[in-house]
A and B are shown apart, each in its own frame.
Chain A
């Protein structure tokens, strides 16, 4: 991922982590996608059993094919949009700051950042059956900056990451104390 496209990286700044939500959190979208793929088959079965006379009309089948095709294209489009939103929703940890890029929808995005030296408290949370099995969860950052609470949602290895952020924040505090 080219960070420069979203935020301007300072000359002394080094990107340490580019974080995204755990891949397992995308699985519900996949399940919905598969269910929506099979839905028209059930609808077609319903139509062919209940509206027998309608189905005998020579114009019905082409109309149903066009509606079905439009439906499948829409499902694919929604699935692709969800993936793009999922993928662009990310957190960038550098040796100087933490950047939160939240892709809300195709036409809405917020970017927020906090300097590492402003971080006061970091806590991680792994809550639930799947997060425990696959080791993913949330990281909460308490800051002295304009954004009091920063949340990194559903990232892999939250405990390890919490430790790494604490170390980076401590190094940044030392740097700012010396300058």
Chain B
């Protein structure tokens, strides 16, 4: 059985968040460098940013009070040898 603390998942999430943000930046810089930043693109970008902020805020609020030291099982051999027993999950 392999267990890891919950904060490892949080670090993976934060790394992924960094990748997503860099792609947001690449998309936005495409609009700026190609001179396509007009009312439509500004409105659409604003809409995307607003939804992203909402998503991050909802994530932050939902995760408040989480014990990040909580162990999480990422591999248990019983999942293969005894998959029909619900207690192994």
Contacts and interface: CB of A to CB of B under 8 A. Distances in A.
Given A53-B89, A66-B13, A77-B20, A84 B63 contact: no
Main SS at interface, chain B: helix
- Interface size for chain A: under 10, 10 to 19, 20 to 34, or 35 or more residues? 20 to 34
Contacts of B52: 73, 76
A66 B9 contact: yes
A11 B33 CA distance: 22
Contact of A5 (B20, B26, B35): B35
B31 A84 contact: yes
Contacts of A4: 35
A52 B51 CA distance: 31
B41 A76 contact: no
A87 B40 contact: yes
B48 A76 contact: yes
A75 B70 CA distance: 29
Contacts of A1: 34-36, 38
Interface stretch (A55-63, A137-145, A158-166): A55-63
A65 to B, nearest CB: 5
Interface string B55-78: 110110011001100111000000
A167 to B, nearest CB: 27
A53 B79 CA distance: 14
A17 interface: no
B59 A65 contact: yes
A106 B26 contact: yes
A146 to B, nearest CB: 24
Interface string B22-39: 011011001101111010
Interface in A8-55: 51-54
Interface string A59-100: 100110110011011101101110110011000000000000
Contacts of B41: 87
A70 B27 contact: no
Q: Pick from A3, A4, A84 the residue with the most CB of B within 10 Å.
A: A84
A57 B59 CA distance: 19
Contact of B72 (A3, A63, A72, A103): A63
B70 A59 contact: yes
A53 B87 contact: yes
B39 to A, nearest CB: 11
14 contacts: A4-B35, A5-B33, A51-B89, A53-B86, A53-B89, A59-B6, A59-B71, A74-B20, A77-B20, A80-B27, A84-B30, A103-B30, A106-B26, A106-B30
